Amino acid sequence: MIRDIDTNKESQMVTETIIDFANKMGIETIAEFIHSKNVYEKVKEIGIHYAQGYYFGEPTSLD
User: How many Å apart are CA 61 and CA 40, to the nearest integer?
Assistant: 24
Q: Is residue 60 part of a domain?
A: no
Domain, as residue range, for 28? 2-51
Domain contains 42: yes
Is residue 40 assigned to a domain? yes
**Does some domain include residue 59?**
no
Mean pLDDT of 32-54: 96
Once rounded to an integer, what is the mean pLDDT over residues 35-51? 96
Domain-embedded: residue 35: yes
What is the three-class DSSP state of 20?
helix
User: What pLDDT digit, counting tens, does each position of 8-23 carry?
Assistant: 999 999 999 999 999 9
Residue 56: is it exposed, middle or buried by C-beta count within 10 angstroms (0-12/13-18/19+)? exposed
The count of domains in the chain is 1
Is position 56 within any domain?
Answer: no
| Structural domain contains residue 57 | no
**pLDDT for position 63:** 79
